[in-house]
Amino acid sequence: MYEQILHALYIYSLQDIVEIFIFSIAFYAFSIWLIQDKQKNLLPYLYLSCSAVLTCTYFNLATLTTFFFLYWPGLMMLFVLTHQRTLQKNFVTLRNIKPAELPKEDWIETMIRSSFIAASKNKEVLFIIENNDSLQEHMHCPIRLKTQIQSELLDILLDSSAFNSGNGVWINAHGMVLGIDVTWQALTLPAGTKNTKELWHEQALALSSLADSLVCKLNLKTRMFDVIGQGTLIEDSPTDSTIQIIKQYIKQHYKPLSKRKDYHESNYKKSPPISPAP
């Protein structure tokens, strides 16, 4: 009985079994490749073509069998051309392609550089650096982003019409740009805080006292930086000193200020959003 089945399947020797096994593995791998496309399932077309060839061969339909074997390569080529884009997409998804890694920039130096470029165009830019405490509830941010800071990108954003001179760029301590053209809720200063000449100083002092943040701005006249953090103002800081202050600040692991007893949001009165610019 087994011999009749093998004879019906045209299997006469061990070599035939090996060849069938190899072709079966290749056919299975090709089927797995095609089935990965979720938008357009190509596998039924392959099964239909193979079933037609096997049916014609089994029932000795000589004309159709000859037609299929003569034109099978052409049919396969037509199949590939018709579904070229889909096959290319499947081929790419099966390969382990590592995306090209962009060289990492020192985001603090990039931020400082962009401040000078904006100043050369007579634009004032506040950089608000978020550390442990989230500033989302305090910020009014019309343009939200979440991208690693890059010099070209930052220059384009600051030079665009969407950014108003005197408003802020919101950055976290990992160098991610979270938003541009930022303003924040006006907060009353803590008791005992010395009043300063500029309005943005007062607002930044209040913000940095309430939340773990650092605010810095380049003075267009002196080309020095004013840096405000943890309720402290440092005026006319040189570029090198400013970079060191920011690096030292982001390396510190503060306990979130929202959990401290000496600072609590209820101790401050909020008024409508205003621009921190003078």
Statement to judge: residues 88 and 111 lie in one domain: no
Statement to judge: residues 113 and 192 lie in one domain: yes
On whether residue 86 sits in a domain, the answer given is yes
Statement to judge: residues 83 and 129 lie in one domain: no
On whether residue 101 sits in a domain, the answer given is no
Among 47, 71, 94, the domain-final residue is 94
Residue 162 Cα distances to 78, 115, 156, 226, angstroms: 51, 17, 10, 24
Lowest mean per-residue pLDDT among 50-54, 71-75, 84-88: 84-88
Statement to judge: residues 189 and 83 lie in one domain: no
Minimal CA–CA distance to 234: which of 215, 262, 250, 255? 215
- Per the structure, the count of domains in the chain is 2
So what's the pLDDT on residue 9?
67
Statement to judge: residues 123 and 229 lie in one domain: yes
So what's the pLDDT on residue 88?
62
How many CB atoms are closer than 10 A to CB 242?
Answer: 21
pLDDT at 257 over 50: no
So what's the pLDDT on residue 188?
53
Statement to judge: residues 115 and 65 lie in one domain: no
Looking up tokens 């953090």, which residue turns up?
229
On whether residue 172 sits in a domain, the answer given is yes
**Domain that residue 144 falls in:** 107-258+267-274
The token duo for 217 is 């701005």
Do 259 and 182 form a contact (C-beta atoms < 8 A)?
no
pLDDT at 125 over 80: yes
On whether residue 130 sits in a domain, the answer given is yes
Mean pLDDT of the chain: 75
Residue 197 Cα distances to 66, 194, 233, 236, 239, angstroms: 94, 10, 12, 14, 22
Statement to judge: residues 79 and 121 lie in one domain: no
Q: Reduced to 3 states, what is the DSSP secondary structure of residue 239?
A: helix
DSSP 79-90: HHHHTHHHHHHH
pLDDT in tens, 220-248: 889 999 999 888 888 899 999 999 988 88
pLDDT at 269 over 80: no
The token duo for 94 is 């099966």
Statement to judge: residues 74 and 130 lie in one domain: no
pLDDT in tens, 145-180: 888 888 888 888 888 888 888 888 999 888 889 988
Statement to judge: residues 142 and 214 lie in one domain: yes
Statement to judge: residues 125 and 253 lie in one domain: yes
Q: Which are the contacts of 163, defined by CB distance < 8 A and separation ≥ 6?
A: 123, 157, 180, 181
pTM equals 0.53
